[in-house]
Amino acid sequence: MDILLTKPADLLTGEPPTYEAGTGPDSIEQKRLDSIVEENDLTQMMHELVIGGGYRGDSWIKTYYAARADMSETEALGLEAPATKLEPIIEAVPANVVFPELARGSRKKFKAVNIAWIDWVEEPSGRVMRWLSGTNETYTPYLVVERHIPGYITYERFRLTERGVNAEWGVPIATYTVGEKVATGREEDIVATGTDRLLVHHIPYKSVDDRWEGINGVEKLESVLSAINERLAQIDYILWKHSDPTAYGPDIDGEADDGASVRFGGRYIPVAKDEATPGYMVWEGQLNAAFTELDVLLGIVYQMSETPQWLFGTTLASDKGGTGTSHTDSGAIKARFMPILAKVNRIRAHVDRALRDAIWTAMQLENYANQGVEGWVPYNPVYPRINWRDGVPIDEKEAAEVAHIRTGGKATISVLDAIKTLDGVDDATAIEMVSRIDDDETRVMGTVDGTVFNSPSGADA
C-alpha cells in the first residue's frame, strides 16, 4: 500500500507549484508570500500530508506566530538563549490529537477545534512511592488542551489519573480520569489572534456531504489485501511441499543392492520390488488457477485505488494494459493517466483550500503581531493563488505549436512567465534571471540602436 499512497503525492508535488499574490512581483505582499512558502517548506509538507491522509483519512495544519527554534532545553540548563525572530509558522498537526466541534445544525463547519494531548511530567515521588518503586521520581500524566475559537486561543491543563486499559476494539488503549485543573505555566492562557478565522485547517483525503471525517484509501482495500496475502501463502505452501515431496519405491533398508546408500530429502514409503517403480508422490496444486486468481485480485486493487498499474513502469497482473512506454506524447500519456489524475485533482481541491487559508491567516497573524513595532511595514493580507501542475511531462514543442497556431504567430507569454513556468521558480528568481539575460544582450550587442543611421551625418556619409 505504501507505493499506492505515495504516487498521488508524487504527482501532486513532484513539480512544485508556484504562488501568486496578484499584486505584482515587486510588491511586499508577493515578497512576504514567497518568504512564508519557503520558510515553512510547504511543498515537502504537502507531500507528507497527502501520504499520511491516505491511510488516516484526515490531515490537519496549524498556523501560529512564534519563534521557530525551541529554546526550552537551553533555558532548562540555565544557559542564555540566543535571540530568536518571531515568524509565521505553518506545520502539520497529528490527526489523533485533533478534536473539532461542529457548529449547530452543520456537519461540515467547525465552531471550535481542540488540540489535546497527554504530557508526562517527571515529579518527585512521595515516601510511599519511593518505598514501593525504589525511585525518587515518578511520571504524572497531564491533559494539555489548546482550544481554537474565532479570534482567540485558550490553553488549559488538567491532572490525569490512570484508570486501566481498554481493549474493547482489539487494541490496548490506556484510559484516564480527568482531574483538577492546574496552572498551564504560560504567561497568558487566552491569546488574541487578530483574525476571525480558525487557525487549524482540515484536509480530508476524500470527503462526502454527510460528515466531516475524511475517507482513507486503505480501508476499502483491506479485504482484497487479505485475500492476496492468503493466496500468496497458499502458493508458497504448495511450492514448498513440491520442493521436497514424499518418495515411494522398493522396500529397502538403508542401502541398495550395490551398496550405495539410498537417501531422500522427504519421507519414503516402501513398495515391493515387483510393484511400481520408485517415484514421487505429488498432487495437483492448481497453481494456474491460483495465479489467475492472484492476477484478478491485483487488478481489483489497482482499480479500487484508481491507479493504473503501468504507472510503475511494469505490470504484475495480466490485464493486457501494456506498460505505457509506447505512448510518448503528453496527450496519450494524460489519457492513460486519467484515473490517477482524477484522483490527484480530488485530493488537490482539499489541499489547495486549506493551504491558501493557512497562508492567508499567517499574513493576518504577522500583521497583527507587529502592530506598532518599530521598523515594521504593514501590508494588506491577500488570499493567494496556487498554480498547480499535474505531474505529467509537458510536450513543450507541442504546446508552443498550438499557441503559435491559435495566435497567428504572436507571442503568448512573457519572458518572465516563461521562466517561471519552465523552471518552476518564484517571481524574484525569475526577475533576476531576466536581468541577467538583458545584461548578456547588452554586453554582446552593445547599446547602439538602429536610429543612429537616421542622423544627418549618417545620411551625408
pLDDT band at 441 (very low <50, low <70, confident <90, very high): confident
Task: State whether 417 and 319 are in the same domain.
Answer: no
Q: Kind and range of the H or E element at 62? A: strand 58-67
Is residue 281, in this structure, part of any structural domain at all? Answer: yes
Q: What is the pLDDT of residue 366?
A: 94
Provide the domain limits for residue 442: 395-447
Given 304, 328, 352, which residue is the final one in a domain?
A: 328
Mean pLDDT of 294-321: 75
Q: What is the pLDDT of residue 169?
A: 83
CB 363 within 8 Å of CB 378: no
What are the grid coordinates assigned to 244, written together? 521436497
Q: What is the pLDDT of residue 258?
A: 53
Task: State whether 318 and 401 are in the same domain.
Answer: no
- Which three-class secondary structure state does DSSP give residue 353? helix
Is residue 400, in this structure, part of any structural domain at all? Answer: yes
Q: What is the pLDDT of residue 320?
A: 47
The answer, yes or no, to whether residue 330 has pLDDT greater than 70, is no
Is residue 64, in this structure, part of any structural domain at all? Answer: no
Is residue 418, in this structure, part of any structural domain at all? Answer: yes
The 10s digit of each residue's pLDDT in 51-91 is 999 999 999 999 999 999 888 888 888 898 888 889 999 99
The 10s digit of each residue's pLDDT in 94-145 is 999 999 999 999 999 999 999 999 999 887 666 555 555 556 667 889 999 9
Of the listed ranges 22-26, 144-148, 323-327, the least confidently predicted one is 323-327
Is residue 320, in this structure, part of any structural domain at all? Answer: yes
The answer, yes or no, to whether residue 461 has pLDDT greater than 50, is no
Give the Cα separation of 218 and 309 in Å (integer).
17
Return the residue matching grid coordinates 547599446: 447
Is residue 250, in this structure, part of any structural domain at all? Answer: yes
Is residue 48, in this structure, part of any structural domain at all? Answer: no
Pairing type for strands 268-271 and 385-387 reads unpaired
The answer, yes or no, to whether residue 268 has pLDDT greater than 70, is no
Query: If we measure between CA atoms, which residue out of 226, 223, 224, 219 comes closest to residue 205?
Result: 219
Q: What is the pLDDT of residue 398?
A: 76
Q: What is the pLDDT of residue 104?
A: 93
Q: What is the pLDDT of residue 322?
A: 46
Given 328, 356, 381, which residue is the final one in a domain?
A: 328
Given 275, 306, 328, which residue is the final one in a domain?
A: 328
Query: If we measure between CA atoms, which residue out of 21, 26, 25 comes closest to residue 362?
Result: 21
Q: Kind and range of the H or E element at 88? A: strand 86-93
Q: What is the pLDDT of residue 131?
A: 56
Give the Cα separation of 246 and 365 in Å (integer).
76
The answer, yes or no, to whether residue 321 has pLDDT greater than 50, is no
Return the residue matching grid coordinates 491543563: 157
Mean pLDDT of 8-29: 90
The answer, yes or no, to whether residue 278 has pLDDT greater than 70, is no
Instruction: Please report how many Cα atoms fall inside a 13 Å half-sphere around the Cα of residue 7, on the Cβ side.
Output: 21
Q: Is the pTM of the predicted complex or chain greater than 0.85?
A: no
Give the Cα separation of 233 and 217 in Å (integer).
24
Give the Cα separation of 113 and 199 in Å (integer).
9
Is residue 438, in this structure, part of any structural domain at all? Answer: yes
Q: Which residues contact residue 2 at a Cβ distance below 8 angstroms, ignoring those fewer than 6 apart?
A: none
Total structural domains within the chain: 2
